[in-house]
Structure 1
Amino acid sequence: MKLDNYITSSTARVKSDKNVPKAKFQTLKAVAEKKLHEARAARSKANLNGITVEFYGNSKHQKDFWKLNWKEAPHSSHPDARIYSAYGVEGHEPTAYYCPETHESVFFNTEYYGQCKSWALGMAAAIMEEKRNTHSIHGACVDVSGKGVIIVAPTGTGKTTQAFKLMELPGGRIVGDDWVYIDHNEGERLGHLVGRQPEKSLYMRTETQMSKPWLRKIFDESKCENITTAKESCEFTQGPTGCKLTNGRCVFDEGLHWCYYAFGNSRALVHREKVFGPGKVTDQARIRLLVLLRRDDKSPPEVHLDADEAIKVLRKGEYMVRPGAGPKEMWGKLAGEPWYNPYLLLLDHARQEQFFRRMISKFNVKCLLLNTGVDSIDLTHKRIISTLEDT
Structure 2
Amino acid sequence: MSGYEVEIIKPEEKDRLIDEEYRENFSYGRKANLSGMCIKLLTNVEEFKEMWEDNFKSMNEDVRPHGRIFALKTGREETQVLYEPVSKTCFLLDCDYYGYVKSLALAVSGDFLEEYHSIHSRYSVHGAAVDYKGVGTAIIAPSGVGKTTQAYGLILEEDVRLIADDWFYTIIVGNGLDVQASEKNCYIRVDIASDIEEYKELLKGVSLDSYGRAVTNVRRVLGEAAMKENTTLRNVIHLKRDPEDDRILRKVETDEAMRYILKNNFCNPHRLITDSRKRKLRKEFFEKLYERTTVYMVNTTATIQENLEQIKDIALER
**2:300 matches 1:372:** yes
Which letter maps to 1:85?
A: A
Say which of 242, 247, 267 aligns to 1:296.
242
| Separation (CA, whole Å) in 2 of partners of 1:303 and 1:31 | 56
- Could you say if the C-alpha distance between residues 143 and 101 of structure 1 is closer, same or farther in structure 2, counting changes exceeding 3 Å? same
Q: Which runs of 5+ in 2 are unaligned?
A: none
> How many Å apart are 1:66 and its aligned residue?
0.8
**2:212 matches 1:274:** no
What does residue 22 of structure 2 align with? 33
Which letter maps to 1:367?
A: V
**2:215 matches 1:212:** no
| Separation (CA, whole Å) in 2 of partners of 1:86 and 1:225 | 17
| Separation (CA, whole Å) in 2 of partners of 1:178 and 1:157 | 13
CA contact (8 A) 1:13 1:112 kept: no
> How many Å apart are 1:14 and its aligned residue?
5.1
- Could you say if the C-alpha distance between residues 117 and 153 of structure 1 is closer, same or farther in structure 2, counting changes exceeding 3 Å? same
Map 1:111-260; keep pairs closer than 5 Å: 111-132=96-117, 133-184=121-172, 187-188=173-174, 191-226=175-210
> How many Å apart are 1:161 and its aligned residue?
2.4
CA deviations 1:98-135 (Å, max 9, x no partner) are: 11111001122223111111110011111112214322
SS in 2 for 1:155: coil
Q: TM-score, normalised by structure 1?
A: 0.74
Which letter maps to 2:68?
A: R
What does residue 62 of structure 2 align with? 76
**2:312 matches 1:385:** yes
Say which of 287, 292, 300 aligns to 2:233.
287
| Separation (CA, whole Å) in 1 of partners of 2:109 and 2:2 | 19
CA contact (8 A) 2:123 2:171 kept: yes
- Could you say if the C-alpha distance between residues 32 and 166 of structure 1 is closer, same or farther in structure 2, counting changes exceeding 3 Å? farther
Q: Which moved more, 1:196-205 or 1:214-223?
A: 214-223
Structure whose alpha-carbon radius of gyration is higher: 1
> How many Å apart are 1:147 and its aligned residue?
1.4
| Separation (CA, whole Å) in 1 of partners of 2:2 and 2:256 | 31
| Separation (CA, whole Å) in 2 of partners of 1:124 and 1:293 | 25
> How many Å apart are 1:72 and its aligned residue?
0.3
Say which of 42, 46, 49 aligns to 2:28.
42
Q: Which moved more, 1:17-26 or 1:146-155?
A: 17-26
Q: TM-score, normalised by structure 2?
A: 0.90
CA deviations 1:332-389 (Å, max 9, x no partner) are: xxxxxx011122213322112111111222x2x011111111x233332333333456
| Separation (CA, whole Å) in 1 of partners of 2:317 and 2:222 | 27
Superposed CA RMSD in Å reads 2.1
> How many Å apart are 1:18 and its aligned residue?
4.1
Q: How many residue pairs were aligned?
A: 311
Q: Which runs of 5+ in 1 are unaligned?
A: 1-11, 227-264, 318-337
